[in-house]
Chains A and B, each alone.
Chain A
Amino acid sequence: MKKVIDRRLELGGDKPEFYEIFARRSSAEALTHIGSIEAPNAELAEARAWFVYDHEPWKEMCIVPTSAIIPITERGSDVKVKVV
């Protein structure tokens, strides 16, 4: 039997939404782009950021919807921000 998946709930519709993850280990370290994840909403994005990027006990971590990023050096490129 195939798994029954509510595409809207778990995938957020047909087009994937991406979020960029930023974190720093200590107050002396710059906030750094550490990765990117796909999630249908901010709440799941938060959970997935914790799940995937738990290799450090981060001092600070935040996520930004990729759609909010305005590229400068990459203006015109297909990729707004590199995955890592």
Chain B
Amino acid sequence: MRRRTFLTGLGALGTATLVGCGSKSEDKYVADPGALQVYSSQHENLTKAWAEAFTKETGIKVQIRKGGDSSMGHQIVAEGAESPADVFLTENSPAMTLVERNQLLAPLEDATRNQVPAHLTPSSKAWTAIAARSTVLVYNPAKLPATDLPKSLMNLAGPDWKDRWGCAPGGADFQAIVAGMLAGQGEQKTKDWLKGLKSNARALQNNIATMKSVNAGEIPCGVIYHYYWYRDQVGTKEGSGNTKLHYFRNRDPGAFVSLSGGAVLAGAKKPAEARKFLQYITSKAGQKVLVDSQSMEYAVGVGVPSAPELPPLATLQAPPVDPFTLNSDQVATLMTDAGIL
């Protein structure tokens, strides 16, 4: 009896091993050597839409590795010149700047650069903007009448805003906004503002949670990027039906526009295909894919209008910040010192 139990068990284990080994040998557990390797911290839907359209157009297979901005940038640096990545796409520019500072990016081709306005690629020609997003204040008019809206993002650090706003300080999106503030307002003002954030703001897990919290009336307003709100508006309005957007404008730190970046890695195994991919996503066709994907991010390609629901990028009066120097290193340190991270 005991022996039978034992033998049955052994048989089960053996079968399981075979199943295990069988599935291990399938290709889906290894990166496809025939496919272009794209490291992307951009939204999955958009990255997929680009990859599928690109494959359809060129026949080149694309494999996507997902991640977050900072951790993925950090990962590429850790992997060094041997990184399996051919292309890197980010949501915000600081992660790209990190990789650039480690000299891991290949220079862009002029043909690609010329597809986006000159001020959207760094002078180093190492990468290009592929999309853009604007900072907004989402607010619940039932809890915060439009007349009481803050004039500046900086005001939210004041004592009258205690427990009255929220944000997602752990995310790369918000840290990019702080990086913009740091570049425009200097270290002392940013430090003081972060101190105010620590005592005033509810820390939420991401932009969507922030928006939904405002929508549910748990907090009167929150700092997010614009496209989360627009995506919900064209969809079910489940998370934003009770809310409105406030644009700070006036070159306020709260009017910060963040660039999503794209680049070819210096150590790319498929450099030609990688360049072609970057050229495609910044082309008219590629930017049209972005607009059609309903990601509601701003298109950056020359002559490609963004989704009609969005106020034009030029009217947002973003602060004059050089996106190519934004330093999240220092932001992380400041936020850690403020007890936020």
Physical interaction between A and B: no
B contact residues vs A (CB 8 Å cutoff): none
A contact residues vs B (CB 8 Å cutoff): none
